[in-house]
């Protein structure tokens, strides 16, 4: 079974934003082209999104959950935000990209 076939939370790493607006994520030994569930990166903002993610999320732990097979796969991508008494707190990457104006909500 490949890393893509797993439905559980999987550790992943941001690689790039493709010119199409798709994310390229490293999951295990596999590079996966994916879209974010709930957010769409406009291809005209792909370079800006890539720069933002490269700067802001370098070294930040990410976890991916595949929601639909691809290509490209549809993923929920969350990042480690902080830790409190109850444990790790994760936030949605798509929501951050929407807040930054680098993605738009997608149904």
3-state DSSP assignment of residue 87: strand
- 57 within a domain of the structure (yes/no): yes
Q: Does residue 107 fall inside a structural domain?
A: no
Looking up residue 89, the CATH number of its domain turns out to be 2.40.50.90
13 located within any domain = yes
Each residue of 12-68: pLDDT tens digit?
999 999 999 999 999 999 999 999 999 999 999 999 999 999 999 888 889 999 988
pLDDT in tens, 77-96: 999 989 999 898 999 999 99
pLDDT for residue 35: 95
Residue 80 lies in a domain: yes
pLDDT value at residue 60: 86
In-domain check, residue 77 = yes
pLDDT at 4: 45
Range of the domain at 76: 3-102
- Give the three-class secondary structure for 37: coil
Q: How many structural domains are present in the chain?
A: 1
pTM: predicted TM-score of the whole model, two decimal places: 0.85
Assigned domain for 61 exists = yes
SS (H, E, C) 49-85: HHHHHHHHCCCCCEEEEEEECCCCEEEEEEEEEEEEC
């Amino acid at each position: 079974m490949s890393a893509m076939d797993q439905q559980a939370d999987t550790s992943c790493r941001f690689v790039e934003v493709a010119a199409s607006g798709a994310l390229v994520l490293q999951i295990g030994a596999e590079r996966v082209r994916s879209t974010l569930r709930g957010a769409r990166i406009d291809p005209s903002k792909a370079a800006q999104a890539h720069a933002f993610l490269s700067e802001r999320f370098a070294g930040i732990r990410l976890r991916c959950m595949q929601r639909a097979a691809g290509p490209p796969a549809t993923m929920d991508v969350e990042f480690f935000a902080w830790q409190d008494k109850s444990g790790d707190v994760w936030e949605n990457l798509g929501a951050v990209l929407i807040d930054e104006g680098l993605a738009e909500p997608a149904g």
